[in-house]
Amino acid sequence: MPTPNPFHRETLLQQLTATPTWDLIVIGGGATGLGVALDGLSRGYQTLLLEQADFAKGTSSRSTKLVHGGVRYLAQGDIGLVREALHERGLLLQNAPHLCHNQAFIIPNYTWWGGPFYTIGLKLYDLLAGHLSLGASTHLSRTETLRQLPGLRPANLRGGVLYHDGQFDDARLAVNLAQTCIEGGGTALNYFPVRGLLKDAQGHVAGVRATDQETGQEYEIKAKTVVNATGIFVDEIRLLDEPQAAPLLQPSQGVHLVLDQSFLPGAAALMIPHTDDGRVLFAVPWLGRIVLGTTDTPVPTASLEPRAQEAEIDFLLRTAAQYLTRAPTRADVLSIFVGLRPLAAATAGSNKTKEISRKTKEISRRHKIVASASGLITITGGKWTTYRRMGQDTIDQAIALGRLPPAASQTEHLAIHGAGALAEKAPSPAHLAAYGSDQPALRQLIADVPALGAKLDAQFEFLQAEVVWAARHELARTVEDVLARRVRLLFLDAAAARRAAPTVAALLAGELGHDTAWQARQVTAFAELARGYQLAS
C-alpha cells in the first residue's frame, strides 16, 4: 500500500480529527506563526497551525526580500536589535541556503562626509555580526562605485561604501517552513480561518473554533495552549478573547515597485540611507527584476490586499529618478505590491483608549509577547529576519506560564525543507535553485511527463511542472497561490501572470479534481486580483 502524501489536504485533515487535544495551536501561517509552530515541534509538542488564507498571503510575502540586521536601526542606536537580527541573519543563511544568499549593497556618497561616516558605521555593523559576518564592508572609489552600480547617476558622485546583507524569497521560505513543520510531525492547514476561541469552566482558553473554507465544515479543536500569531490581524483574534481589549498594533504599509533590471543592471543593490523625508530606499536585484522600495505610511486598518497611495508611488519614482541615470515612469512598473508591518504600538496592553503614535518610523521593530488573563498568548512586531527567535521566545513564554512542559528549543541549527544536499548549485533554468534538494524529484516529474517542461509564459522561465509540484507537495490550492507565492510571477510581472492564469488553472484542476467552472472562476478572480498589482500609465 503506497505511503500517503504528507502534504495532501486529505492527509492533514485526517491528522486534525485524529488528535483529541493538541499541545499547541498556532493561529497564523505567516513568518511569525510558522516560526512559533516549528519551535514548538522542535521541542516535541503536538502542534497544529491554522491559516485563514494561504501561507504568507499577507505581509510575509510582501517584504523587501532582505534578511538583514537593519542598518537604519543601527543609526537609531538600537544596538541590541541589530545584534540579534545579525545573528539570526547568519543562522537563516545556514539553515535555508537554497533560498537565502549573500547580497552586496552599495551606499553612494554625494557629499564629502558620506564616505567616512558610513564606512565607520558599517564597520560597527560588521563587528556586531561576529563570526556570522557575510563579508567586510569597504570604501569604494567613484570609478568602482559606477562599475558595480551601472545605472547610478554619476554627477557629483564621490564614491561609495559596500556592505553585505542577506536576500531571500520570502513566500517560498514560508512554504518550506510549512513543509518542515509537516515533516516534523505537525499539521499545517491553509484556508482554515479561526472564528472563535474555546474556554473551559474557569474561563481559560482551551482551543479554537475553526472552519475549513473549502468545505464549510466547522471544527472545535482543543488545545493546552493557543498562540495568536496573525501578524496585522492579531487584534481581531484578541477581540475574540477580550471584546474590550485595546489595540496592540499600529499598522504601517510599505510599497514596492518592480522594474526591469535594465534600470540597475549590475549584481549589487543600491541603498539610500536617508531620503528627502527621512526614509530608507532600496533598489535590489531579485529574480531578474529590480525591487524598489519602500515607504512607511500609517494606515488605519489591516487588509489582506492593501493598496498603494498615489503619494507613495510618486515618492518612489521621484526618489529613484534622483539616483538613476534613467528615470522610471509609471509605465515602467511591471508590478506593485504592498505589505503591512505589524508594528507593536507603544500603548499596547492598556484597557483604556489611547492615541497610538502616528510616527511609524519611531515604533520599535522589536517583537512583543502578551498573555491575556485567559491564557491566550499573542506575539506581534518583529520582522522576517528574526522569525526563528520570535518563535523561540513565544514558546519560552508558554512554558513560563505553565501552559507547556519545559523543553529546549532545537531550531537554531534546524535545516529548512529543501536545504539538503543540493543537486545543482547553478541549475538551468536558474530559478530552480530555489527548490534546493527537491530539484531531482522536480526534474523527474518533467522526465515522466515531458509536456510539463513547457513554460508558463514565453517571457519567463517558470515551468508547468512547477504548478503540478506546487499542488502535490507545496500545499497550493488556487491560481493565486501558485502565481503569487510559489513561482512569484505576480510579483515580477502582473501582466505575464494574468496571461499564465488559464494554464495554471487547468493544471491545478487536473491535480485537485476541479471542473471547468472552477477553472473559469479562478481565472476571473485572479485577473481581478492582478489588476491591483498594475499601474495605469
What is the model's pLDDT at position 115? 82
CB atoms within 10 A of CB 123: 15
- pLDDT above 70 (res 353): no
Q: How confident is the model at residue 424 (pLDDT cuts 50, 70, 90)?
A: low
The arithmetic mean of pLDDT across residues 420-443, rounded, is: 86
> Cis link prior to 380 (omega < 30° from 0)?
no
- Which residues, 6+ apart, have CB-to-CB distance to 382 below 8 Å? 32, 342, 365, 366, 367, 390
Q: What pLDDT was estimated at residue 346?
A: 55
In degrees to the nearest 10, what's the CA dihedral of 73, 74, 78, 82? 80
Radius of gyration of the chain (CA): 23
Segment 11-24 shows an average pLDDT of: 97
Summarize pLDDT for 18-46 with one digit per residue, the tens: 999 999 999 999 999 999 999 999 999 99
Give the model's pLDDT for residue 77. Answer: 76
Q: Are 186 and 11 in contact (CB under 8 A)?
A: no
Q: What residues contact 18, with CB distance under 8 A and at least 6 apart? A: none
Distance of CA 86 to the CA centre of its chain: 17
Could you read off the pLDDT of 298-335 as tens digits, one per residue? Answer: 998 899 999 999 999 999 999 999 999 999 999 999 99
Q: What dihedral do alpha carbons 210, 532, 481, 460 form, nearest 10°?
A: -170
Q: Where residue 368 falls among pLDDT bands split at 50, 70, 90?
A: very high
pLDDT (average), residues 33-60? 98
pLDDT, tens only, 131-187: 999 999 999 999 999 999 999 999 999 999 999 999 999 999 999 999 999 999 999
Kindly give the interhelix angle for 494-512 and 464-473, rounded to the nearest 10 degrees.
50
CA distance 392 to 229: 13
Average pLDDT over residues 441-446: 97
Select the CATH number that applies to the domain covering 99-166+250-342 from these four: 3.40.630.30, 3.40.630.10, 3.40.640.10, 3.30.9.10. Answer: 3.30.9.10
pLDDT at 515 over 50: yes
Domain range 430-531, its CATH number among 3.40.30, 1.10.150, 3.40.50, 1.10.8 = 1.10.8
Give the confidence band of 359 by pLDDT, cuts at 50, 70, 90. very low
Q: Provide the residue ranges of all domains of the chain, joining segments of one domain with +.
A: 9-59+172-248+345-400, 99-166+250-342, 430-531
Q: What CA dihedral angle connects 12, 13, 15 and 19, to 10 degrees? A: 150
- Written as nine digits, the cell of 415 is 535545516
pTM of the model: 0.95
More confident of the two residues 192 and 73: 192
430-531 matches 99-166+250-342 in CATH topology: no
Query: pLDDT class for 351, splitting at 50, 70, 90?
Result: very low
Average pLDDT over residues 510-516: 98
Cβ-count burial of 435 within 10 angstroms (0-12 exposed, 13-18 middle, 19+ buried)?
buried
* Mean per-residue pLDDT, 201-208: 97
Percent of the chain at pLDDT exceeding 70? 95
Give the per-residue pLDDT at 365: 61
Comparing 82-91, 129-138, 361-370, 497-506, the range with the smallest average pLDDT is: 361-370
Report how far apart, in Å, the C-alpha atoms of 489 and of each of 41, 191, 336, 397 are.
32, 21, 12, 39
**Residue 340 scores a pLDDT above 70:** yes
Q: Is pLDDT above 50 for 363?
A: no
Range in 135-144, 424-433, 508-517, 524-533 with the lowest mean pLDDT: 424-433
pLDDT tens digit sequence for 270-290: 999 888 777 789 999 999 999
Neighbour count for residue 32 (Cβ, 10 Å): 31
Q: Is residue 423 over pLDDT 70?
A: no
Bridge-based pairing of strands 335-344 and 249-260 is antiparallel
Question: In this structure, what is the dihedral angle of CA atoms 96, 368, 210, 202, given to the nearest 10 degrees?
Answer: 140
Band of residue 10 on the pLDDT scale cut at 50, 70, 90? very high
- Calculate mean pLDDT across residues 484-504: 98
Residue 71: pLDDT over 90: no
Task: Evaluate if residue 348 carries a pLDDT over 70.
Answer: no
For residue 135, is it left (φ>0), alpha (ψ between -120 and 50) or beta? left
Beta-carbon count within 10 A of 256 CB: 25
Phi, then psi, of 157 in degrees rounded to 5? -70, 130
Residue 95: pLDDT over 80: yes
First to last CA, the chain: 57
Say what the pLDDT of residue 117 is.
87
Kindly state which CATH superfamily the domain 9-59+172-248+345-400 is placed in. FAD/NAD(P)-binding domain (3.50.50.60)
What pLDDT score was predicted for residue 426?
77
Distances (CA, A) of 116 to 72, 74, 108, 353: 17, 16, 12, 46
Average pLDDT over residues 50-77: 91
Taking all residues of the chain, what is their mean pLDDT, rounded to a whole number?
93
Q: Using one digit for the tens of pLDDT, what is the confidence trace for 461-481?
A: 999 999 999 999 999 999 999
